[in-house]
Structures are given as structure tokens and as C-alpha cells.
């Protein structure tokens, strides 16, 4: 069975950082939930913070981009999770629609 390619935009607390808390039940983040789901593949991710995306790439072993449009064009995710500050949600939702991402979680 083909796995659903998933990608994240925004790599903060709810996207990944809370997984570092040893007291939290896992999975407790978007990346953790995607990685734990046998039907999904964490394909690529995006954040404008270079320190954050380098750490994420090392932890999860996936390509990380600074530009969301480039990430979507390169990996064609079937599921896109937008985990950014609310003032950017509309921009990323429009980008997902423009690039024909079938499922967007915001």
C-alpha cells in the first residue's frame, strides 16, 4: 500500500519540539503523529528559522526547506500541516490550493 506523503510548514512546539519533553505521552506533535502512523510518510518540512530546520532535519531525517513553495513543488505532499503563527495561515492555505495539495490541516 502506498503511504500518504505528508509535510509540515512551521517546525515549532506543536510541530515537533514538544516531542523532546520526556514527560509527555507520545506522539504529542504533528511530526510525531505522522511518523507513528504506518500509513503516512513524513516527506519534507519547512521553516524560516535555520536553527530550527537544521535541528528538525537531524531529528527526523527528512529534507527541510526555508521556502514552502519550493518544498511543495519538490515533494508534492498529499497532506500538508500548517503549524505556523496564525497571521501566516491564509498565505500558506492559498499556496496549498494553488499547488493542488489535496488535504490541508491548519
Per-residue pLDDT of the chain (106 residues; tens, 9 = 90+): 899 999 999 999 999 988 888 888 899 999 999 999 999 999 999 999 989 888 899 999 999 999 999 999 999 999 999 999 999 999 999 999 999 999 999 9
Q: How does 41-65 read in b/e, with b if 16+ C-beta sit within 10 Å?
A: bbbbbbbeeeebbebbbeebebebb
Residue boundaries of the structural domains of the chain: 4-105
Q: What is the pLDDT of residue 101?
A: 98
Q: Is the pTM of the predicted complex or chain greater than 0.95?
A: no
Q: What is the pLDDT of residue 37?
A: 97
Q: Which fold has domain 4-105?
A: Rossmann fold (3.40.50)
Amino acid at each position: 500500500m502506498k503511504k500518504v506523503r505528508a509535510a509540515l510548514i512551521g517546525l515549532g512546539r506543536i510541530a515537533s519540539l514538544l516531542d523532546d519533553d520526556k514527560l509527555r505521552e507520545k506522539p504529542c506533535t504533528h511530526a510525531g503523529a505522522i511518523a507513528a502512523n504506518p500509513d503516512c510518510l513524513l516527506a519534507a518540512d519547512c521553516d524560516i528559522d535555520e536553527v530550527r530546520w537544521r535541528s528538525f532535519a537531524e531529528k527526523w531525517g527528512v529534507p527541510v526547506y526555508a521556502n514552502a513553495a519550493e518544498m511543495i513543488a519538490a515533494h508534492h505532499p498529499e497532506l500538508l500541516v500548517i503549524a505556523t503563527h496564525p497571521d501566516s495561515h491564509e498565505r500558506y492555505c492559498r499556496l496549498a490550493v494553488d499547488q493542488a495539495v489535496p488535504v490541508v490541516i491548519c
